[in-house]
Structure 1
């Protein structure tokens, strides 16, 4: 991601269309699909937001809006939002769970750093 930016979702049916999905908090990620392995915390420029309570697999919203926010009517911990462009991601940091990548400790990524030992970032 450091070199290729965030890619838009393009596989299978998507609840809110083919874009970049986020949970409202780290805690809320436990309820999402493909949630294991890493957490990415982002600062997002939401801009024009469409709030919905029913999902439909469509990209029509991005003609007028930059972000779609799905407010789950019965399970607030399942709320999520989706942005249409990776340029809306202003800052990001990633936390990788060690069992999913042994390079985390090998390259000293398990502690706070200003640069990596592998010089890859």
Structure 2
């Protein structure tokens, strides 16, 4: 998995038939996190952003980088939960997409755990 989170963003745009016309973020967590119960995402350990303005909102102790600077395979080795937020002003759209994305990410982890030599 040598692609970046920027590449994954474009795959998700195609998968959900979205227009890539809004800001997006990936929230990475070192622990397993349940996203389905809360309206807001918990504070991420590592936040990948698509816009320079996002750095002005960096929380204490939170690492941030641009989505095109982090390789998927490396992140999957370090983090146990990943959330994707698209159209930051429309939480309902992000939440429905997030629920589907959680299943994709969980499936990727199961494959990685069962066949680590192939990842």
TM-score by length of 2: 0.31
Q: Would you tell me which structure has more strand in proportion to its own residues?
A: 1
* Structure with the bigger percentage of helix: 2
TM-score, normalised via structure 1 length: 0.31
Q: Over alpha carbons, which structure has the higher Rg?
A: 1
Which structure would you say has the larger RCO, counting Cα contacts within 8 Å and 6 or more residues apart? 2
